[in-house]
Structure 1
Amino acid sequence: MSLFRRRFLQLLMGAATVPALVGRSSSAETQRQVRVATGLLAMWQSTAWLGAEAGIFGNRQIEMSLTGVAIGGPQAAAGLIRGDYEFAHTGVLPVAEEVLKGNDIVILATPTTEFPNQFIMTRREIAELAGLAGKRVGVLSETGQTSVATRIAIEKAGAVATYAPLVRFDRIYAALAAGEIDAGVLPVDLRFVGANRYGWNAFPVYEFGTPSIFAGTRKLIASDRELVMNVMRGFVETIHLFKTRPDIVVPLLARYLNIEDRKVAADLYAFHLPVFQKSPRPSLGGLQNIRDVLVTKYATAASLTEADIADASFIEQLESEGFIDRLYRDGR
């Protein structure tokens, strides 16, 4: 067992309650209200919620509320554009498609690197993706990034399946457990649970080489850049908390993800720890894959650039100011 792992378990098991961060603001008069949505209920889209629960955004006079959780990537992007909320955790594909439609949405950060965080889970007797021919597969939506990547993976295996949009991972899990579907896409936490409990087979989904993202709008940037800058400071501080304080983070995320088994929560934290980036500068190395998917619907997708869909200036400013380096100074 590594030194980090031993220390992590000591911190976790010794934490009877989740400590509150010091200095949480109690002044409602000066708080700026900010609404956020998430496409998925997943650890890699938990940064806004975690920062709000831990008091990080409150310390910055931001009252952050999650007004839509696990509503689907396309829905999160569409709601952001409508003005239902100011920020959203979603995928690159919904953002790129909305930009190609002429809508206002922009990527501000990529909290993690790209990693296999979702899996096509099949019943025990279906040992390969080709076995899904003519079968029913549970997905989140018809057009979201995860759902499109799932369909592509199955089609590459030579199978033509039917797809049931079930909106949430927990519904996909329940439907697969009940035998209502033959397979379904699930996040890494439910991948381990399903394999252990039901003997399901797991096949990783690779989402175009682009990670999950955190987005806002150019309109908000133009009208209140300091608010966006302050949110991004809190966002980076929350990633620092995630990477350095498992005693606080693991109990919170176990509650957020409804994980009752503390060992499962600890293992999931350890799995995600290395993929969260200290500096979440927008990184879209797989953009060509996004272009290839969208060009059949939008001819202008062929010339889509990172600058069209992302604004790295906020993270770049935090880097140049030394803000991020100071957070991690002296091994904290």
Structure 2
Amino acid sequence: MDLKIPQLDIHLFDAASLGLEFPFVTLTAKKTYLRDHPDVVQRFIRAYTEAIALYKNNRELAMKVTQKYTGIKDPAILSSTVNFYAPKLARAPYPTIGGIRFVLEQIAARDPRAKNVNTETFMDVSFVKQLEESGFIQGLYAGR
């Protein structure tokens, strides 16, 4: 998929169409924070997951939010932007080993120590997993 903006004679290429795993959206926290405040983290992940569902399921809201935070006024460009981003947001926002590995490979070009880092030390999937196993995420998309 690519994005054409005829009014500006611009044609943007969608690098995601190459199939490379890249952490499109990342959430980060210190391990100590995750350990000491699991209730806060779980509530945040729950709200974040609900926001993803709203963006994917409620086009009018997605358009308003995108316009607010991007400043895009042109309806055609705004629509193209929502069409571009909505499918890229994962229903269950798990980090991917491949995405983290890709970033570490880029860092390794400048700092060879990144080649020896265990990618799994950067991930805690337990909060998303709990929501998924409880049926919460599936419920956000029921009937869709």
Query: For the Cα contact (< 8 Å) 1:254–1:262, is it kept in 2?
Result: no
* Aligned equivalent of 2:22, options 200, 210, 228: 210
Show structure 2 runs of 5+ residues with no match. none
How many residue pairs match? The answer is 141
Query: For the Cα contact (< 8 Å) 1:240–1:278, is it kept in 2?
Result: yes
Aligned partner of 2:7: which letter?
A: N
TM-score by length of 2: 0.80
Deviation (angstroms), 1:321 = 1.2
Deviation (angstroms), 1:230 = 0.2
Q: Which residue of 2 aligns with 1:259?
A: 72
Query: 1:214 is paired with a residue of what secondary structure?
Result: coil
Deviation (angstroms), 1:310 = 1.6
Show structure 1 runs of 5+ residues with no match. 1-114, 117-187
Query: For the Cα contact (< 8 Å) 2:97–2:120, is it kept in 1?
Result: no
Larger helix share, 1 or 2? 2
Query: For the Cα contact (< 8 Å) 2:23–2:95, is it kept in 1?
Result: no
Aligned: 1:236 with 2:56? no
Deviation (angstroms), 1:288 = 4.0
Choose 1 or 2 for highest CA Rg. Answer: 1
* Aligned equivalent of 2:63, options 232, 250, 262: 250
Query: 1:263 is paired with a residue of what secondary structure?
Result: helix
Root-mean-square deviation (CA, aligned residues, Å) is 2.7
TM-score by length of 1: 0.38
Change (3 A) 1:293 1:273: closer
Change (3 A) 1:210 1:284: farther
Query: For the Cα contact (< 8 Å) 1:259–1:265, is it kept in 2?
Result: yes
Q: Counterparts of 2:90 and 2:110 in 1: how far apart (Å)?
A: 33
Q: Which residue of 2 aligns with 1:323?
A: 136
Q: Which residue of 2 aligns with 1:69?
A: none
The percent identity for this pair of structures is 21
Query: For the Cα contact (< 8 Å) 1:239–1:276, is it kept in 2?
Result: yes
Aligned partner of 1:252: which letter?
A: V
Larger strand share, 1 or 2? 1
